[in-house]
A and B are shown apart, each in its own frame.
Chain A
Amino acid sequence: MITPEIIGTLIAAAFTLMIYSFFYKENKAYRFAEHVFIGLAVAHGTVITSKYVWDTALSRVITKGDAFWILPILVGLLFPFFFSKKYFWIYRIPVSMVVGTGIGLGVAGLMRSQFIDQIVGTIALPNPKATWYSGSYPVNAALIAIGVIGTLFFFIFTTEQKGPLLVASHIGRWTMMVAFGAAFGFTVMARMSLLIGRMQFLIDPKGVAWYLIPVAVLIIVVAAFLERAKGAKKS
């Protein structure tokens, strides 16, 4: 029996395969899926934002007569001026308020959580009783200390880097290269995880998504065959 869940799974599988068809080459199916995905994300965002505005502000104005909320609603209504060439400047008012508040809040917390606490975290002595503590920790801590100091020296540009300063700067450069390499390795791992997640969905024997795999393969084979025939005709 065809249930809404089965239809939903088949649609999801079809869109997944459309996106993966990009591995063969750029094509209209991929473009269609990409546009639908963006459209859905925007639609979901619009609906959920509207619901939040209703719950937080509009319903209070209408049901409780809480006039305070009229002000933020009016400010919010200035956002659509983004689409007007003539009155674009009005759009800058709510944007400046949001950006200003964000920067104010961010900077206030930044000094403690990302500057002072980070320095404290780097120089603090480890707790050998902690569950995460292992025999390799002192080695790691020493490497971090050398790496941090070296990286700081790398960014000293006010004096010519020679002698011990150059050595420290080289240590900093190597530290950063290792950090970038680790970041790249993690990125590969993350991308593979995404592929694995989709593949799990597609080849799940309990599901119906795999029904579409032979269909997709057939379409790609036919497309490749037609393309080759077209190329042969031209030559």
Chain B
Amino acid sequence: MSFFDKLEKVDPRAIYLLLFVIVAVPLIRPLGLPLSMSPMTTSFYETIEKLKPGDVVVVSYDYSPASSPEQYPQSKAVISHLLAKGAKIVTVAFWADGTPFIDRTYKDVLGKSSDHPKYGTDFVNLGWVPNGEIGMAAFGKDIHATSPKDYYGNPTAGLTMMKDIKSGKDVKMLISLASGTPGVPEWLRQMQAPYGATMLTGVTAVSAPGIRPYFPTQVAGVIEGLGGAAEYEVLLARYGYIGTLAPPMDAQSLTHMLVVLFIVLGNLGFIIKKYGKAK
């Protein structure tokens, strides 16, 4: 039995084990592998940099815990950047499971959420809005009617900053942290196109190829998966933001090398066996 015959019969569980080890090693002892910068992440950062203090930004959490390893680091970095720029942040979720991440982000970034002194003046958490695209259309039309109370039960109309933010017309920028439907295409249809808000997005790596055609004409910047979040953390270092994604990106690079190795071995085996038989 040749090497490639043996390789074909390897127990998949051995590969899983190898994968676990490859992931665990750089997490325990980071390797410091280099990180490239994508133009989409740079554009995301530069677009937020252009915001003026007081500009209204809607951040929509359109993801669930399943994609949180990729999107929660994006959320933390984006909210930190917006707070540093002095933007008025309206956070909302169109995925029910994404709602708790809003509160968690503010607690991780500011140490507090609804009990923070700037809650209601600089940022609000409007919680979940149901019905996907229909909800987005309603939100754009009348924010107060769609979200009459915030996540914590306070009347939206009673929150200081919300007195001047009533519809999509008052929104300068929309950031959708999305991993599926409803997500970016729905926001484009219901907010970016009708109200002209500048749109940015942070997506999972799975969704990224489907979102790229919108850049740069419709979506001004994209953070793609864990890699994009790591790039964004590097850009935020000038604000003193302490990133946490260098070790995970080392693990990501190593797993990719492993996958490439398996693909090369698999193809080599296929070619050698095919031509071996032909002889």
Residues of A within 8 A of B (CB): 23-24, 41, 44-45, 48-49, 52, 55-56, 60, 98, 101-102, 105-106, 108-110, 112-114, 117-118, 120-122, 124, 130-134, 179, 182-183, 186-190, 192-200, 203
Contact = CB atoms under 8 A, between A and B. Distances in A.
Given A45-B96, A109-B188, A117 B217 contact: yes
Given A114-B189, A194-B69, A203 B27 contact: yes
B270 interface: no
Contacts of B146: 56
Nearest to B132: A102
Contacts of B188: 109, 113-114, 117
Contacts of A110: 189
B133 A194 contact: no
How many of chain B's residues touch chain A, expressed as a range?
A: 35 or more
B262 to A, nearest CB: 11
A121 B217 contact: yes
B85 interface: no
Contact of B69 (A124, A130, A197): A197
Given A98-B134, A121-B213, A124-B217, A194 B28 contact: no
B240 to A, nearest CB: 22
A186 B256 contact: no
Interface of B: 13, 16, 19-20, 23-24, 27-28, 39-40, 42-43, 46, 64, 66-70, 96-97, 99, 127-134, 137, 146, 148-149, 153, 185-186, 188-190, 192-194, 204-206, 208-210, 213-218, 224-227, 247-248, 251-252, 255-256, 259
Contact of B190 (A23, A45, A109): A109
A189 to B, nearest CB: 4
B200 to A, nearest CB: 13
Contacts of A186: 205-206, 208-209, 224-225
Contacts, number: 158
B256 A24 contact: no
Contacts of A23: 13, 16
26 contacts: A48-B99, A48-B128, A52-B128, A55-B149, A56-B146, A102-B133, A102-B134, A105-B133, A106-B186, A118-B213, A120-B217, A121-B213, A121-B218, A124-B217, A130-B216, A132-B215, A186-B208, A186-B224, A188-B259, A189-B256, A190-B70, A193-B205, A193-B225, A197-B69, A197-B226, A199-B27
